Chain A
Amino acid sequence: MKPLAPHLIALTLAAPAWGASDRLDGWVELGAGVTDNGNGRFGEYRQPLQTSGLFGLGGLGLTWRDGDDPYRHGYLAAVASLDQLAFEALHARQGSYRIGFDIRQFEALSRGPVSTVFADRDGVQTLPPGYGGLAGAERFDAHLGVRRERAGLDLMRQLGPWRLAARLSSENKEGGRAVGASERFGDAALLLAPVDQRHDSVDLDAAYLDGPWSLNLRGYHSRFGNDSRALGYANPVNLAAPPRTLDLGPDNGFTRVGFDGAYRFAPTRQVSWFLSRADARQDDDFLQPLLVAGQPLLDSLDAQRVDTDLRLAFHDRPGARFGYRLRWDYRERDNRTDRVQLSPSGYAHLYDSTRERLALDADYRLGGGWRWKGGAELRRVERATRALESFRDDADDRHLWSELRLPALGPLDWSLAVETTERDSDLSTARRAELNPAAPVLATPDYLLAGRNWQYRLTADLTLAEGLLLAAHYRHTRDDFRNDYLGLHGRDSDELSLTLAWQARRDLSVNAWVQHQDFHLSQNGFEFHPTGARSQANARWRQFSDDRSRALGVNLRWQARPGLVASLDLSHGENDSSYRSRWLEAADTGEAGGTSDSLPGVGVDVTRLDASLAWDYSTRTRLQLRYLHERLRADDWAWGDDLFNVLAFGWTSPRHDGHALLFTLRHQFAPAP
């Protein structure tokens, strides 16, 4: 964390408050922890758990309140917790003004320790002197993780019916990430690409609230800067090859101006709207200007896009039993980038779209415990692509849904819901040419596939006894695509959740939950031989993916005696995927039509335990002991081959048993006299 400047700003904000204070509260927290078998996966988002050993915890907070005007208050806190380093300051008067500042930092690691054959030299991935090839190559430790540092300044001023607010944010991302850089089998598969990015944004809001009017004028500006614009690297397989350069992404900027609001005809009837126009640009100085044979030098690779949003909604609740909403929205993505030529055969590939939606939904409370909710929505999306040639694909969705809450059956409250979406698409000639069964290039993406989606839900709450509740939720979804050729053919899922909440006694509560999710999809592919010369050219196959996720957990909170609270959060998840395939026709590779094969499954099992014991030594002093455990077993055949590993950071499937023990003491200062 860049230490001094933000702290000083925060102290400056808070200082005027302290000058006139007559009530000052505070707390201090000190602690320590120890991690055993710490690693990047255990501490994926918690830095102290990324390495084994001791770490410190601490925090200090001060709150101030003006005795003459108790709505005027301030807050100052610095925290070094398991999750983040943070500093916050606030000075405010409720309903009048607010000045807030915060800065926080955390790091996300990718799996664990990594090593690479490259040596980083001034941002260029070079091979060390004496490097003689992959076999037996020396490997260097590398850090593969991104540290995010976020700072924000909040300002608010209330002036009668006007409320002016501003939020200034800045985020720095620094570290390294894995990026694929292979050109063919044998080349480096993964590179450590530096991350040095900054994202600044300003959010301005002028709101007016008076009587039936609620109006907001909003402005948002965001600027993204990438200080690691490109990465050079040597070819570790073909040592004679010239160094290559990797594009790591251009800077961009985004500005949106919006106006939204509502007019309330009555407490239960209003019209609301949202209008906005946004401008997105990127200016690129990477690899420009480019020389295209026969073309003049390009003086810009810049791009521009204008987004327009319009929304209008009418809400009405004519009576206690009935209400409805009518909503319309329109979105246009207008890509204003020139269709530049970047190579003799390469043109920029630009995308535009417009989306229009009209939705009506209503709810009605019938007598006898019946309640109905339902609605309809029409969506039309037009997608245009501009490249060497331009084409447009349209899709129309008709969505209907209905939910019925039924009268209670004794202790059972339950409801049923069904949704369906019908999609028709109108594909362009160019798209149809790509789908040509004789020489397909693409399959139809799912958002253009005609077909029908069904969704069914059942929700039930069963009161088993006083303080004992069982809640169940089941959902089934199914996509039936009208696709008799390549791409997605079917997709369905089943999800079931059960929750048991038991307030055994006033001092003991138990919550147990179980989740089961199953996702299946099938898709067709095409063993493509451009010449069609082989005996069984263009054989079709079907592939099935099955993802399953099961999780269960128990939360327990027990106040053993006044001032002594034990809590436990135990969860276990099993996630696995399996892949089956079948040749629909005899293939050149020798497989007969109808034969099946499968890939090994991929699985991740994780068990987490978070247990704590808190003891109030006095009304002002609390001691807490906390234990964290994570057992993770992953098994993935895509990682682990020796030669491949050399080029891919030595990654293997993560497996660990991590433990951490934390002890903290928190003391609350007495209010100042």
Chain B
Amino acid sequence: MIRRLPALALLWLALGAMAALAEPGADAACLMCHKGVAEGGISHSAHGLGADPAGMSPAVTCTACHGPSPAHVASPRTPPDFTFARAEGNGGDGTCLACHQQGAMAHWAFGEHAAAGVSCASCHAIHTATDPVRERGGQFGVCTDCHQREKADQLKFSRHPMAEGHVQCSDCHAPHGGSALNGLTQPTVNDTCYQCHAEKRGPFLFEHEPVQDDCTHCHLPHASVNDQLLKAREPFLCQQCHIAARHPGTLYDSARQVQRDINIVGQSCSNCHSQVHGGNHPASSTFRR
């Protein structure tokens, strides 16, 4: 009994908070069975506190989201009036959007996730004290439940540290939609990258057009089998555009590898052309030091 005291206290607090502002007894009935919900931490979140301080809803209670659900009360095997399971798609989102209208949510109904049948509850945990998708350490796990390719990408040689939470999916992507065509948080791919890689933003006196045009001409955003998130290995990546200039358009084959040709060992082209993102030094006309 002593061990259950904290849970009972939580239950009491949740009941108290809800009962104060909700229809008397409505949620108390819910919590008679759904003790785990209170123990799980909803009383620590705004969804378990009763009145809505923003005035969007008269009360945030169980029945405010799930409906009065008399059939469910009479027979627990009958689902509540509204549930928010994944399979339900957009069905439950209207309930959430009744309060959550600000900012990006204005675009939710027309976004990619909504179009794919992903509902709010597919990603967000409502009944817990913390919502993993909003936690630095938890978001990657939630997103990769569906986006498995990005999960596998973390095993590649170079990667953004997403599994550790240092880079979050929502740092770059707008999960709730927006007016942007690219689905990113910033107007362009480059602007998104510059949030962390500001040193590459420029402008420079010597600009490398593909670099300034779009980082993804050369880089993969999540991970790559090549070093530095590159789409192909140097020098082959560079040779997709550069043929001659002062270097012959050498075919780098096994003979060159045996010779340890400086154009192919180590960092390859970047052994010399280290300023490939642009620079101000006159040597930057060829993106050297």
Contacts and interface: CB of A to CB of B under 8 A. Distances in A.
Contact of A254 (B53, B194, B265): B194
A327 B205 contact: no
A224 B109 contact: no
B9 A63 contact: no
Contacts of A526: 243-244, 249
Given A305-B203, A351-B209, A443-B242, A327 B106 contact: no
A359 B181 contact: yes
B198 A284 contact: no
B199 A249 contact: yes
Contacts of A340: 205
A608 interface: yes
Q: Is the interface of B mostly helix, strand, loop or mixed?
A: loop
B82 interface: no
Contact of A180 (B101, B210, B274, B281): B274
B265 A638 contact: yes
B44 interface: yes
A426 to B, nearest CB: 16
A637 interface: yes
User: Which 8 residue pairs spanning A and B have beta carbons closest together?
Assistant: A573-B155, A95-B54, A551-B152, A597-B253, A515-B152, A224-B198, A315-B110, A180-B274
A445 interface: yes
Contacts of A287: 280-282
B121 to A, nearest CB: 18
B173 interface: no
B166 A351 contact: no
B6 A620 contact: yes
A439 B214 CA distance: 28
Given A441-B243, A670-B5, A671-B6, 13 more contacts: A63-B44, A183-B272, A250-B204, A262-B107, A274-B180, A337-B203, A440-B243, A486-B243, A517-B149, A525-B243, A527-B250, A528-B243, A604-B156
B33 interface: no
A608 B244 contact: no
Contact of A83 (B164, B213, B236, B283): B164
22 contacts: A70-B50, A71-B49, A84-B166, A180-B267, A180-B289, A246-B289, A247-B275, A254-B198, A261-B106, A274-B180, A287-B281, A333-B212, A351-B212, A525-B249, A545-B232, A547-B226, A553-B152, A573-B155, A575-B155, A575-B225, A608-B155, A644-B260
B126 interface: no
Interface size class of B (residues with CB under 8 A): 35 or more
A252 B191 CA distance: 14
B202 A282 contact: yes
Q: Is the interface of A mostly helix, strand, loop or mixed?
A: strand
Interface string A593-615: 00001111010101010000000
B88 interface: no
Contacts of B265: 637-639, 641, 644
A496 B161 CA distance: 24
Contacts of A608: 155
Contact of B260 (A276, A441, A641): A641
A106 B266 CA distance: 27
Interface of B: 3-7, 9, 13, 17, 44, 46, 49-50, 52-54, 101-103, 106-107, 109-110, 115, 137, 148-149, 151-152, 155-157, 161, 164-166, 179-181, 187-188, 191, 194, 196, 198-199, 201-207, 209-210, 212-214, 217, 225-226, 232-233, 236, 239-245, 248-255, 257, 260-262, 264-268, 270-275, 279-285, 288-289
Contact of B240 (A189, A304, A487): A487
A353 B207 CA distance: 12
Interface stretch (A120-128, A341-349, A655-663): A341-349
A335 B151 contact: no
A556 interface: no
A523 B236 contact: yes
A104 B161 CA distance: 15
Given A252-B198, A337-B205, A551-B155, A325 B110 contact: yes
B164 A304 contact: no
A513 B109 CA distance: 31
A521 B232 contact: yes
B155 A349 contact: no
A547 B236 CA distance: 13
B280 A286 contact: yes
Interface in A363-385: 363, 373, 377, 383, 385
B53 A95 contact: yes
A579 interface: yes
Nearest to B21: A70
A572 B156 CA distance: 10
A45 B164 contact: yes
B148 A515 contact: yes
A443 B245 CA distance: 11
A96 interface: yes
Nearest to B237: A545
A390 interface: no
B107 A272 contact: yes
A342 B280 CA distance: 9
Contacts of B5: 670
Given A545-B232, A604-B157, A305 B205 contact: no
Contact of A315 (B109, B217, B266, B275): B109
Contacts of A439: 244
A576 B251 contact: no
A513 B245 CA distance: 47
Contacts of B255: 589, 597
A440 B188 CA distance: 32
B252 A226 contact: no
A313 B111 CA distance: 12
B187 A309 contact: yes
B108 to A, nearest CB: 11
B188 to A, nearest CB: 7
B217 to A, nearest CB: 6
Given A329-B181, A441-B243, A644-B260, A598 B253 contact: yes
Given A83-B137, A305-B203, A639-B266, A497 B106 contact: no
